[in-house]
């Protein structure tokens, strides 16, 4: 089984299974540590085969987590039974993009882009919709996206969270019929 001092992030994707395993702690600099990672991945493959699933090396995502200094020491690939798995700078599990330094910058960038796209679409048809309908659509298309798996964003730097705040401010402007660059702070105090 996997060593308790070495953790691996593996995202395995099949038709019926998406799973995520822990985070990386020690650099994979020694042969022993690399063998432990291979052993962990083999154990996951054995578990999957015992449950009538198959570990597909082509769809398996692998990443090491740590500081920039630690990550510089890591070799970029691990061999598994049917091929090798390349160490990726970011993996996606359940729609959340997890980068190597756990900044979630890529996830927030993708999320804000998606939300701003929805807000632009809603803005183009705002005149045809009632305020109640706009509120419902904003909650459904924007706020629910931000709320999904938001617990992983605890402890994220403020520079990234400001992007999400900008999305929420834009949504509030849309609801109260303000222009794109109008301040929303005073309006929020009134409602």
Residues 39, 13 share a domain: yes
Is the pTM value of this prediction over 0.85?
Answer: no
Q: How many CB atoms lie within 10 A of CB 184?
A: 16
Whole-angstrom distance, CA of residue 78 vs CA of residue 63: 10
DSSP 152: G
Query: Splitting the chain (191 residues) into consecutive groups of 10 residues, what average pLDDT does each group show?
Result: 41 42 47 71 83 78 79 65 68 88 93 96 94 96 94 91 94 88 71 57
pLDDT of amino acid 59: 74
Residues 179, 127 share a domain: yes
Residues 67, 120 share a domain: no
Of 96, 122, 151, which residue is a domain's last?
96
Of 63, 96, 129, which residue is a domain's last?
96
pLDDT of amino acid 31: 65
Query: Among 132, 138, 123, 135, which Cα is nearest to 178's?
Result: 123
Residues 110, 81 share a domain: no
**140, part of any domain:** yes
Residues 81, 30 share a domain: yes
**Domains in the chain, number:** 2
Residues 108, 76 share a domain: no
**162, part of any domain:** yes
Q: For the chain, what is the largest distance between any 2 Cα atoms, rounded to a whole number of angstroms? A: 65
Q: Quick one: which H or E segment has residue 83?
A: strand 83-86
Whole-angstrom distance, CA of residue 97 vs CA of residue 47: 25
pLDDT of amino acid 191: 57
Residues 164, 181 share a domain: yes
Domain ranges, residue 57? 9-96
**175, part of any domain:** yes
pLDDT of amino acid 65: 80
Residues 91, 76 share a domain: yes
pLDDT of amino acid 180: 76
Residues 78, 46 share a domain: yes
pLDDT of amino acid 20: 37
Of 96, 113, 136, which residue is a domain's last?
96
């Amino acid at each position: 089984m996997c060593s308790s001092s070495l953790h691996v992030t593996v995202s395995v994707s099949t038709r019926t299974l998406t799973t995520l395993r822990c985070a990386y702690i020690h650099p994979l600099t020694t042969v022993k540590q690399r063998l432990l990672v291979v052993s962990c991945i083999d154990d996951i493959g054995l578990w999957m085969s015992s449950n009538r699933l198959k570990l597909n090396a082509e769809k398996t995502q692998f990443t090491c987590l740590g500081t920039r200094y630690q990550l510089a020491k890591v070799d970029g690939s691990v061999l598994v039974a049917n091929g090798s798995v390349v160490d990726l700078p970011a993996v996606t599990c359940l729609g959340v993009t997890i980068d190597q330094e756990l900044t979630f910058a890529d996830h927030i960038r993708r999320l804000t882009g998606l939300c701003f796209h929805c807000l632009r679409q809603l803005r183009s048809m705002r005149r045809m919709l009632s305020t109640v309908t706009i509120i419902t659509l904003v909650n459904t298309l924007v706020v629910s996206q931000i709320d999904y798996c938001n617990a992983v964003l605890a402890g994220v730097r403020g520079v990234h969270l400001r992007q999400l705040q900008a999305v929420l401010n834009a949504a509030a402007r849309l609801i109260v019929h303000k222009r794109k660059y109008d301040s929303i702070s005073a309006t929020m105090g009134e409602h």
